[in-house]
Structure 1
Amino acid sequence: MSKNLKNISVVASLTMVSRVLGLIRDILSANILGGGVFNSAFVTAYNLPNLFRRLLGEGALSAAFVPTLHAELRERGKEGAFALLNNVVSWVAVTTSVLVVVTMSVCSQSRHITGQDPKWYLMADLTVILFPYMAFVCVAAALNAALNVMDRFTEPALSPIWLNLAMIASLGGAAWRWSESDLGQVYWLCGGVLVGGLLQMISPTIVLMREGWRPRFDLSISSGVREITRLMAPELFGVAIYQINIFVSRQLSFSIDESSASVFFYANRLMELPIGVFAIAVSTVVYPLISRHAVEGKFAEMADDFRKGLRLILLINIPAAVGLALLAEPIIRLLFEHGRFTAENTRAMVPLLQLFMVAMPFFSVVSMSTRGFYALRETKTPVRIAAVSFVVNIILSLTLKDRLGTSGLVLASTVAIVLQTVLLQRALTLRLPGMNFAPLWKTVGKIVLAALGLFIVVGGCWWLLRREMPGSPVADLIAVCGLIPVGAGIYMVLVMMLRIEGREEIADLVLRKIRKKA
């Protein structure tokens, strides 16, 4: 577990850098473009290639590719693994290129559909510009999955950093200095996305070539490709259903008013900060490990590592959700309420972030549970459950959108992810009894108790700050820079006092970081 913790710390550290850069990117875009129609059109257009990235790249492709490449590496060594990689990358490049050309051709004809609100035409135009990003990042996902199988976690974790740096450069440099119109600024931001996608693809290519890989175009239908295709077919829907739900919610939010899509996007991004920093880092490291156990038939070890991964995720994400929900208002004001992002945008965003925080721990569990199924090469059950979640989200979204606005959309996706969590974990237990959640309930109870201590102290202090300094930027600064570390410290003390499992691993990780710096 020590080696795995080291890998998790590497991925988490680099992901933290990426998320911080992503936060800077979002702050810049909010300040420059505000919560108006141009920003809403951009984030809605960006949703489509991003959805395919999650489905084809980070989702179905990676989930199917990792166990298959493990088996190939075990049977034929690096030579066989690299041959399969060439095969897969070639098919991904051709498939995504065709999809890009078709989508761009369709969206470019949007004005033939007359009588629509101009913002929909703007969104279609931006989709035409942004969609090639999908091809770049799907190829990059295949390359990064290969690196993970070879226990190279640093380079894949760097991938989103290149995208964020490119977008920050386009916003901070080009958009401010070389473009005076809102549309021109959005075009520069689109350019940053495309450059970032290219960098994401080039970086793992260089690393793999140093490992001995020689890129070769190969469209043969090998047994490995057939196996990946068999696994991917249902996974396209199952592995990233939450992202599909969010995509639908974002599209619906664009129809509500000019600012709803923007505030929905930023609230969702803040939710993804703790998920990306730790939950995805744990899943990234644990998934190849449990896949290896599954290939070798070591199901007891697989279940043990699966539960360790879940425990680490919940140990961090439950208190993070409580803290972000409590301090949603000062965090949003301090980060976003500058430039063209108004107090009205903040008021609209606060309840969205608080509702997203309810969903956050469940999303983390779904991510791990789904990977548990795919490590076992079981695809039908997650798809059936995903279909139920998707239908529930659509029905609730359409029902609640007119009554509760954007909050109704977040509430619908939250209910859907909670339902998916329960059904997935129940089905996983039936599939492999050793994977049941029961041994974790005692730990979860202690985590909730420790988080309650955080809630009482931080919530009480924030109530006092609001009473003594209502609406003051100083109060917001104290809340974010003071109460967050205080809350984290109180939580960790309670974790140690309650003897929560996993505390030694976290403490060891922190101590090793301190020794390294010393």
Structure 2
Amino acid sequence: MSRKLKAIGVVSGLTVVSRVLGLVRDQLSAAVFGTSALNSAFITAFSLPNLFRRLLGEGALTAAFVPTLQEELQEGAEAAAFRLLNQVVSWLALVASGVVAAGMGLFAWGAQLPQFSGKWSLAAELTVVLFPYLVFVCLAAAFSATLNVFKRFTESALSPIWLNVAMIGALGGAGLHFAETGLGRMHWLCAGVLAGGFLQMVVPGLVLVRLGWRPRLDFTLSARVREIARLMAPGLFGVAIYQINIYVSRLLAFSVSDEAAAVLFYANRLTELPIGVFAIAVATVIYPLLAQHAAQRQSGAFAADYAKGLRLILLVNLPAAAGLALLAEPITRLLFERGSFGPSDTAMLVPLLALFAVGMPFFSITSLSTRAFYALKDTKTPVKLAAVSFVINLGLSIALMRPLGAAGLVLGSTVAIGVQAVQLQRALTVRLPELAFAPLWGGVAKLVLAVCAMAAVVGGGWWALKAGWVVGGAGQGLVRDFVAVGGLIPLGVLVYGGALWLLRIEGREQLPALWRRLRGQHD
């Protein structure tokens, strides 16, 4: 467990750096572009290469590639694993390049159509510029997955850092100094995306070369490659449903108003911080272990590691969701309200952030549960449940977007992810009774009590600050926000930790060890 916590600590620590840089990037883009149609067009355009990235790189391919590579490594040697990597990367580069060429041609043609004038034409033009990012990031995903199988988590966790640094440098450096128009600055931001994608590909590739990999083109359709393709087929459809879900939501938001897509994006990004820092870090580290246990047919160890991952995810994400919902207003003002991002934008973003926070624990559970199915080489079940989630989200979004605006879109996605999380867990229990959630209910009840205690303190403190009991005067808004974020969050953490200790929550003994790992100490 100590080694697992160390790996989780490494991934979490680097993810913190990545999310902080991502937040700086978002703050910069919000200050420069606000919630303008130009910013919404960029967000909509960038969603499409990200959709295909999930399809061809980080989603279905990784799900099929990791357990197959794990088996190849156990049955053969590193040379066999590297040979399989060359075959997979060769086919992936070919397919991704074809998709990029077709996509750029299609959107270049679409941008010239008269019925796609204004902001829609702008979104199409930016899509053409951003589409080559797909090739870089797909190859990066294959390299990072291979490093994870070799239990090298640092380099893959560094990947999003390169993207954020490149985008910040391009917009905050060259864009603000050399571009005189908003569109000119946007082109610099797009250049940062492409440079960041190139770094995401090159850095883990060089690490693999140091480990003994020798890259070469190999289009051999070996038995392992065919197995990966067979496993990818249903998984590709499942990931497509989820990613199309996101893309359709952003298109719907783009159609609601010029501001909706940007506001929806920033609200979602704030919820990704706690999810990415811990939930995705846990899932990233646990997944190769689950794949290893499945390959060795160790159902007991599989269930034990899954349960530990689930407990750790809930332990962090439940209080994070509650705190984010309660302090959405001061957090938004402190982080974004400057430059072109004004009070009216804050007023639009706050309720969306609170709604997104409700879905955080369900999203985190879904991430781990889906990877458990992939480790078992069952890619069909997540597909079916993702399809149900898509229908629920699309139906609710269309029904609620007119009366509720962007809030209706968030509400639809929150309900859909909640249903998907419950159904995935039920299906896992049917597949392996050892994975039943029932033994965790006692611990979850204690977690809820601890979260309620924390929420009472944080919510009461924010109410007192707004009432002027602690910092008085209407002109003290900024001071109140600093006190709320800088004071109530640490206080909430202390109350939550104390409540967990008093309630004797299972797994509490792992927290000091995790803290030591995060600080870089060793047992």
- Note whether the superposition's TM-score is higher than 0.5: yes
Counterparts in 2 of 1:231 and 1:444: CA distance versus 1, 3 Å: same
Query: Within 2, Cα distance between the matches of 1:114 and 1:239?
Result: 33
- 2:320 paired with 1:320: yes
Aligned to 2:60: 60
Amino acid of the residue matched to residue 375 of structure 1?
A: A
CA deviations on 1:121-162 (whole Å, 9 max, x unpaired) are: 000000000011111001000000000000000000000000
Given that 2:5 and 2:513 are in contact with CA atoms closer than 8 Å, whether structure 1 keeps it comes out as no
Q: Kindly indicate whether residue 9 of structure 2 is the aligned counterpart of residue 16 of structure 1.
A: no
Q: What CA distance in whole angstroms lies between the structure 2 residues aligned with 1:166 and 1:114?
A: 34
Partner Cα separation in structure 1 for residue 133 and residue 490 of structure 2: 37
Aligned match of 2:381: 381
Deviation for aligned residue 1:441: 1.0
Partner of 2:483: 478
Instruction: Report Cα offsets for 1:86-123 as digits up to 9, x if no partner.
Output: 00011111100000000000000114432334000000
Q: Specify the SS of the correspondent of 2:116.
A: coil
- The amino acid that maps onto 1:329 is E
- Contact 2:401-2:409 at 8 Å conserved across structures: yes
**Partner secondary structure for residue 108 of structure 1:** helix
* 1:163 maps to 2:168: no
Look up the match of 1:330.
330
What is the SS of the residue equivalent to 2:369?
helix
1:128 is aligned to 128
Aligned residue in 2 for 1:310: 310
Cα offset, 1:492, TM superposition: 1.0
Matches of 1:96 and 1:116, distance apart in 2: 26
CA contact (8 A) 2:110 2:116 kept: no
Match of 1:5 in 2: 5
Aligned pairs (5 A) from 1:83-162: 83-162=83-162
Post-superposition offset of 1:512: 4.8
Q: 1:512 to 1:101 in 2, by over 3 A?
A: closer
Question: Distance between the aligned counterparts of 2:196 and 2:407, measured in 1?
Answer: 32
Partner amino acid, structure 2, of 1:495: L
Quote how far apart the aligned CAs of 1:501 are: 1.3
Q: Which residue, 462, 476, 492 being the options, matches 1:487?
A: 492
d(CA) in 1 for partners of 2:402, 2:518: 50
For 2:518 and 2:117, locate their aligned partners in 1 and report how far apart those are by CA, in whole Å: 54
Measure the CA separation in 2 of the matches of 1:455 and 1:117. 48
- Taking the aligned partners of 1:197 and 1:146, their CA distance within structure 2 comes to 18
- Specify the alignment match of 2:443 in structure 1: 443
Deviation of 1:66 after TM superposition, in Å, equals 0.4
Q: CA deviation at 1:332?
A: 0.4
* Corresponding letter in the other structure for 2:355: L
For 1:155-200, what per-residue CA distance to the aligned partner results, in whole angstroms no more than 9, with x for missing partners? 0000000000000001110111111101001000000000000000
Partner of 1:505: 510
Q: Could you list the per-position Cα deviations for residues 403-456 of structure 1 after superposition, in whole angstroms to 9, with x for gaps in the alignment? A: 110000000011110111111111111111111111111111111111111100
In the TM superposition, 1:235-274 aligns within 5 A as 235-239=235-239, 241-274=241-274
Shift in Å, 1:230: 0.9
Give me the whole-angstrom Cα distance separating, in 2, the residues matched to 1:240 and 1:283. Answer: 20
The C-alpha deviation readout for 1:364-407, integer Å capped at 9, x for no partner, is: 00111111111111121111111111111111111111111000
Asked if 1:212 is matched to 2:202, the reply is no
Structure 1 letter corresponding to 2:49? P
Residue 111 of structure 2 contacts residue 124 of structure 2 at CA under 8 Å; is this kept in 1? no
Secondary structure of the equivalent of 1:73?
Answer: helix
Equivalent residue for 2:356? 356
Identity of aligned residues (%): 59
Question: Residue 297 of structure 1 aligns to a residue in which SS?
Answer: coil
Partner of 2:176: 176
Aligned counterparts of 2:413 and 2:248: Cα–Cα separation in 1? 9
Q: How many residues align?
A: 518
> Equivalent residue for 1:430?
430
Looking at structure 1, the residues matched to 278 and 520 of structure 2 have their Cα atoms a distance apart, in angstroms, of 21
Q: For residues 506 and 282 of structure 2, what CA distance do their matches in structure 1 show?
A: 16
Contact 2:6-2:517 at 8 Å conserved across structures: no
The residue aligned with 1:372 is 372
1:399 aligns with 2:399: yes
Paired AA for residue 472 in structure 1: G
**Aligned residue number for residue 34 of structure 2:** 34
Structure 1 CA distance, aligned partners of 2:153 and 2:269?
A: 23
Q: Note if contact 1:242-1:417 (Cα within 8 Å) is conserved in structure 2.
A: no
Cα displacement (A) at 1:362: 0.2
Alpha-carbon distance, 1:496 to partner: 1.1
**For the residues of structure 1 that align with 2:370 and 2:355, how far apart are their CA atoms?**
23
CA 1:112–1:25: 2 relative to 1, 3 Å: closer
Give 3-state SS (helix, strand or coil) of 2:212's partner: coil
State the TM-score, normalizing by the size of structure 2: 0.97
- Aligned partner of 1:256: which letter? V
Aligned-partner SS, 1:255: helix
Q: 8 Å contact 1:429–1:436 — kept in the other structure?
A: yes
Q: Do the aligned partners of residues 229 and 384 (structure 1) sit closer, same or farther apart at CA in structure 2, a change above 3 Å counting?
A: same
**Equivalent pair of 1:239/1:370 in contact (CA under 8 Å):** no
RMSD over aligned Cα, in angstroms?
1.4
For 2:386 and 2:448, how far apart are their aligned partners in 1? Answer: 27
Give the Å deviation of 1:239.
Answer: 4.2
Q: Report the AA paired with residue 488 of structure 1.
A: V
Instruction: Summarize the Cα distance change of 1:512–1:371 in structure 2 as closer, same or farther, 3 Å threshold.
Output: closer
Counterpart Cα distance in 1 of 2:35 and 2:511 = 39
By how many angstroms is 1:247 displaced? Answer: 2.1
Secondary structure, aligned partner of 1:109 = helix
User: CA 1:496–1:240 in 2, change beyond 3 Å: closer, same or farther?
Assistant: farther
1:112, 1:160 → 2: CA distance?
A: 33
Matched with 2:299 is 299
Question: 1:60, 1:239 within 8 Å by CA — same for their partners in 2?
Answer: yes
Please list every run of 5 or more consecutive structure 2 residues that lacks an aligned counterpart in the other structure: none
Name the aligned partner's letter for residue 278 of structure 1.
F
Q: Is the contact between residue 450 and residue 499 of structure 2 (CA under 8 Å) also seen in structure 1?
A: yes
Partner of 2:454: 454
What does residue range 333-344 of structure 1 map to in structure 2 within 5 Å? 333-344=333-344
What is the CA distance between 1:495 and its match in structure 2?
Answer: 1.2
Which letter maps to 1:172? G
Q: 1:241 to 1:300 in 2, by over 3 A?
A: farther
State the alpha-carbon separation in 1 of the partners of residues 88 and 111 from structure 2. Answer: 37
Q: CA deviation at 1:515?
A: 7.5
Q: Give the match's secondary structure for 2:340.
A: coil
Counterpart in the other structure of 1:231:
231
AA aligned to 1:388 is: V
Normalising by structure 1, report the TM-score: 0.98
Decide whether aligned partners of structure 1 residues 501 and 242 sit closer, same or farther in structure 2, where only a CA change above 3 A counts: farther
- What amino acid is the match of 2:245? N
The amino acid of 1:93's aligned partner reads: A
Q: Relative to 1, partners in 2 of residues 1:512 and 1:102: Cα closer, same or farther, differing over 3 Å?
A: closer
What's the secondary structure of 2:521's corresponding residue? helix
